[in-house]
A and B are shown apart, each in its own frame.
Chain A
Amino acid sequence: MALPSNPSINHPYIPSTDFERAEMLSVIGVDSFDDLLSDIPLEHRHPPMDLTSGLSEQELGSRISGFAGENASPSSGYVSFLGAGAYSHYIPSVVRSILQRGEFVTGYTPYQPEAAQGTLQVGFEFQTIICQLTGMEVANAGMYDGPTAFAEACLMAARVTRRNKVGVVSDIDNRLLEVLISYVKYQDIEIIEITPDTRVIPDDLACIGIQSPNFFGEIQDVERLTNLAHDHGALSVVHVNPISLGLFKSPGEFGVDIVTAEGQPLGVPMAFGGPYVGLFACKKEHIRQMPGRIIGYTKDTKGRAGYALTLQTREQHIRRERATSNICTSTQLIALMVTAYVATLGKQGIKEVAELCYQKAHYAAKEITNIEGYSVRNKGTFFHEFVVTCPREPSVINAELLKQKIIGGLDISNRSDNGMLVCFTETNSKKDIDRFVEGLRQLGEVH
Chain B
Amino acid sequence: MDRSVAGRKAFSLPESDVPFQEMPDRSHMRDDLELPEVSQLEVIRYFSILSQRNFSIDTNFYPLGSCTMKYNPKINDELSNLPGLADLHPLQPEATVQGAIRLLKDLQDDLGEITGLPAVSLAPLAGAQGEYAGLLIARAYHEARGDDQRTVAIIPDSAHGTNPASAAMAGLDVVTVRSDSNGNVDVSNLRELSDSRTAVFMLTIPSTLGLFEPNILEITEIIHNAGGLVYADGANLNALLGIVKLGDLGVDICHSNLHKTFSTPHGGGGPGSGPVMVKDDLAEFLPQPVAEKRSGCYVLANPNQSIGSINGFHGSFSIAVRAYAYIKALGLEGLQSVSQNAIINANYIQANLRDKYNLPQDRYCMHETVLSASRQKDRGIAGLDIAKRLLDFGIHAPTMYFPMIVEEALMIEPTESESKETLDHFIAVMRQIDDETNNQAELVSEAPHDLPVTRLDEASAARKPILRWSPVDLDDQ
**Residue-wise interface mask of A (137-168) relative to B, using a CB-CB cutoff of 8 A (1 in contact, 0 not):** 01101101111100000000000000000000
With a cutoff of 8 Å between Cβ atoms, the chain B residues found around residue A16 in the complex are 341, 344-345, 416, 419-420
Give A352 to B12 CA distance when docked, in angstroms.
9
Give A355 to B22 CA distance when docked, in angstroms.
11
Give A76 to B10 CA distance when docked, in angstroms.
30
Q: Which of B383-421 contact A (CB under 8 A)?
A: 387-388, 391, 396-397, 402, 416-420
Most chain B CB neighbours (cut-off 10 Å) among A298, A313, A426: A298
With a cutoff of 8 Å between Cβ atoms, the chain A residues found around residue B348 in the complex are 24, 27-28
Give A185 to B343 CA distance when docked, in angstroms.
40
**Residue-wise interface mask of B (228-249) relative to A, using a CB-CB cutoff of 8 A (1 in contact, 0 not):** 0000000000000011110011
Give A301 to B459 CA distance when docked, in angstroms.
12
Give A53 to B266 CA distance when docked, in angstroms.
26
Q: Are B161 and A317 in contact (CB under 8 A)?
A: yes
* A109 is an interface residue with CB less than 8 A from chain B: yes
Q: Are A344 and B40 in contact (CB under 8 A)?
A: yes
Give A391 to B163 CA distance when docked, in angstroms.
52
With a cutoff of 8 Å between Cβ atoms, the chain B residues found around residue A88 in the complex are 87, 89
Q: Are A148 and B312 in contact (CB under 8 A)?
A: yes
**A92-100, A202-210, A370-378: which lies at the B interface?**
A92-100
**Residue-wise interface mask of B (79-101) relative to A, using a CB-CB cutoff of 8 A (1 in contact, 0 not):** 11111111111111101111110
Closest-by-CB residue of A relative to B44 is: A94
Q: Are B416 and A14 in contact (CB under 8 A)?
A: yes
What is the CB-to-nearest-CB distance from A94 to chain B, in angstroms, rounded to a whole number? 6
Q: Are A107 and B266 in contact (CB under 8 A)?
A: yes
Q: Are A118 and B51 in contact (CB under 8 A)?
A: yes
What is the CB-to-nearest-CB distance from A363 to chain B, in angstroms, rounded to a whole number? 4
What is the CB-to-nearest-CB distance from A212 to chain B, in angstroms, rounded to a whole number? 11
With a cutoff of 8 Å between Cβ atoms, the chain B residues found around residue A186 in the complex are 139, 169-172
Q: Told that A30-B364, A116-B268, A145-B313 touch, could you supply 6 new A-B pairs with CB distance under 8 A?
A: A16-B419, A97-B44, A102-B58, A298-B456, A313-B462, A328-B127
Q: Are A67 and B99 in contact (CB under 8 A)?
A: yes
Give A316 to B155 CA distance when docked, in angstroms.
15
Q: Are B52 and A70 in contact (CB under 8 A)?
A: no
With a cutoff of 8 Å between Cβ atoms, the chain A residues found around residue B391 in the complex are 112, 114-115
Residue among A102, A147, A287, A381 making CB contact with B24, cutoff 8 Å: A381
With a cutoff of 8 Å between Cβ atoms, the chain B residues found around residue A187 in the complex are 169, 171
Q: Which of A63-98 contact B (CB under 8 A)?
A: 63-76, 78, 80, 82, 84-86, 88, 90, 92, 94, 97-98
* B62 is an interface residue with CB less than 8 A from chain A: yes
Q: Which of A385-412 contact B (CB under 8 A)?
A: 398, 402, 407, 410
Closest-by-CB residue of A relative to B10 is: A344
Q: A69-B84, A410-B91 are in contact. Are A352 and B47 (CB under 8 A)?
A: no
Closest-by-CB residue of B relative to A361 is: B21
What is the CB-to-nearest-CB distance from A309 to chain B, in angstroms, rounded to a whole number? 8
Give A319 to B126 CA distance when docked, in angstroms.
19
Give A326 to B433 CA distance when docked, in angstroms.
35
**Residue-wise interface mask of B (55-69) relative to A, using a CB-CB cutoff of 8 A (1 in contact, 0 not):** 111111010100101
With a cutoff of 8 Å between Cβ atoms, the chain B residues found around residue A37 in the complex are 243
Q: A80-B89, A108-B268, A297-B474 are in contact. Are A346 and B10 (CB under 8 A)?
A: yes
Q: Are A297 and B461 in contact (CB under 8 A)?
A: yes
With a cutoff of 8 Å between Cβ atoms, the chain B residues found around residue A410 in the complex are 91
* B28 is an interface residue with CB less than 8 A from chain A: yes
With a cutoff of 8 Å between Cβ atoms, the chain B residues found around residue A274 in the complex are 90, 125, 271, 311-319
Q: Are B270 and A333 in contact (CB under 8 A)?
A: yes
With a cutoff of 8 Å between Cβ atoms, the chain A residues found around residue B90 in the complex are 85-86, 270, 272-274
Give A317 to B165 CA distance when docked, in angstroms.
9
What is the CB-to-nearest-CB distance from B132 to chain A, in angstroms, rounded to a whole number? 6
Q: Are A114 and B451 in contact (CB under 8 A)?
A: yes
* B294 is an interface residue with CB less than 8 A from chain A: no
* B332 is an interface residue with CB less than 8 A from chain A: yes
Give A177 to B226 CA distance when docked, in angstroms.
36
Q: Are B9 and A116 in contact (CB under 8 A)?
A: no
* B71 is an interface residue with CB less than 8 A from chain A: yes
**A192-200, A225-233, A288-296: which lies at the B interface?**
A288-296
With a cutoff of 8 Å between Cβ atoms, the chain B residues found around residue A346 in the complex are 8-11, 35-38
Q: Are A311 and B462 in contact (CB under 8 A)?
A: yes
**Residue-wise interface mask of A (108-139) relative to B, using a CB-CB cutoff of 8 A (1 in contact, 0 not):** 11101111111101111101110111000011
What is the CB-to-nearest-CB distance from B6 to chain A, in angstroms, rounded to a whole number? 9
Q: A187-B171, A294-B465, A299-B457 are in contact. Are A72 and B13 (CB under 8 A)?
A: no
With a cutoff of 8 Å between Cβ atoms, the chain A residues found around residue B268 in the complex are 104, 107-110, 116, 118-119, 122-123, 332-333, 336
Closest-by-CB residue of B relative to A431 is: B17
Q: Which of A37-73 contact B (CB under 8 A)?
A: 37-41, 44-47, 49-55, 57, 60-61, 63-73
What is the CB-to-nearest-CB distance from A19 to chain B, in angstroms, rounded to a whole number? 10
Q: Which of A419-444 contact B (CB under 8 A)?
A: 426, 429-430, 433
Closest-by-CB residue of A relative to B334 is: A54
* A334 is an interface residue with CB less than 8 A from chain B: yes
* B472 is an interface residue with CB less than 8 A from chain A: no
Give A142 to B1 CA distance when docked, in angstroms.
19
Q: Are A329 and B272 in contact (CB under 8 A)?
A: yes
Q: Are B165 and A316 in contact (CB under 8 A)?
A: yes
Q: Which of B413-466 contact A (CB under 8 A)?
A: 416-420, 446, 448, 451-458, 460-462, 465-466
Residue among B53, B243, B363 making CB contact with A40, cutoff 8 Å: B243
Chain B interface residue number, banded: 35 or more
What is the CB-to-nearest-CB distance from A54 to chain B, in angstroms, rounded to a whole number? 3
Q: Are B269 and A293 in contact (CB under 8 A)?
A: yes
With a cutoff of 8 Å between Cβ atoms, the chain B residues found around residue A300 in the complex are 453-457
Closest-by-CB residue of B relative to A53 is: B331
With a cutoff of 8 Å between Cβ atoms, the chain B residues found around residue A69 in the complex are 84, 99
Q: Are B456 and A351 in contact (CB under 8 A)?
A: no
Q: Are A41 and B216 in contact (CB under 8 A)?
A: yes
With a cutoff of 8 Å between Cβ atoms, the chain A residues found around residue B350 in the complex are 28
With a cutoff of 8 Å between Cβ atoms, the chain A residues found around residue B341 in the complex are 8, 14, 16, 21
Give the 10 A-B CB pairs with smallest separation, nearest first: A186-B171, A333-B267, A273-B313, A54-B331, A68-B84, A75-B83, A70-B99, A332-B269, A102-B58, A275-B271
Q: A57-B75, A60-B75, A86-B313 are in contact. Are A326 and B97 (CB under 8 A)?
A: no
What is the CB-to-nearest-CB distance from B206 to chain A, in angstroms, rounded to a whole number? 9
* B355 is an interface residue with CB less than 8 A from chain A: no
* B120 is an interface residue with CB less than 8 A from chain A: no
Most chain B CB neighbours (cut-off 10 Å) among A97, A116, A142: A116
What is the CB-to-nearest-CB distance from B93 to chain A, in angstroms, rounded to a whole number? 7
Give A9 to B87 CA distance when docked, in angstroms.
37
Give A139 to B475 CA distance when docked, in angstroms.
19
Q: Are B456 and A102 in contact (CB under 8 A)?
A: no
Give A123 to B267 CA distance when docked, in angstroms.
12
* A224 is an interface residue with CB less than 8 A from chain B: no
* A447 is an interface residue with CB less than 8 A from chain B: no
Return 22 A-B CB contacts under 8 Å, by A number. Answer: A27-B348, A28-B351, A49-B335, A55-B329, A61-B78, A65-B79, A67-B100, A68-B82, A71-B100, A80-B89, A86-B313, A122-B50, A148-B129, A250-B30, A270-B87, A275-B317, A297-B461, A310-B458, A316-B164, A321-B165, A334-B271, A344-B40
Q: Are A246 and B33 in contact (CB under 8 A)?
A: yes
With a cutoff of 8 Å between Cβ atoms, the chain A residues found around residue B387 in the complex are 112
What is the CB-to-nearest-CB distance from A143 to chain B, in angstroms, rounded to a whole number? 10
Give A317 to B465 CA distance when docked, in angstroms.
20
Q: A320-B161, A329-B272 are in contact. Are A145 and B82 (CB under 8 A)?
A: no
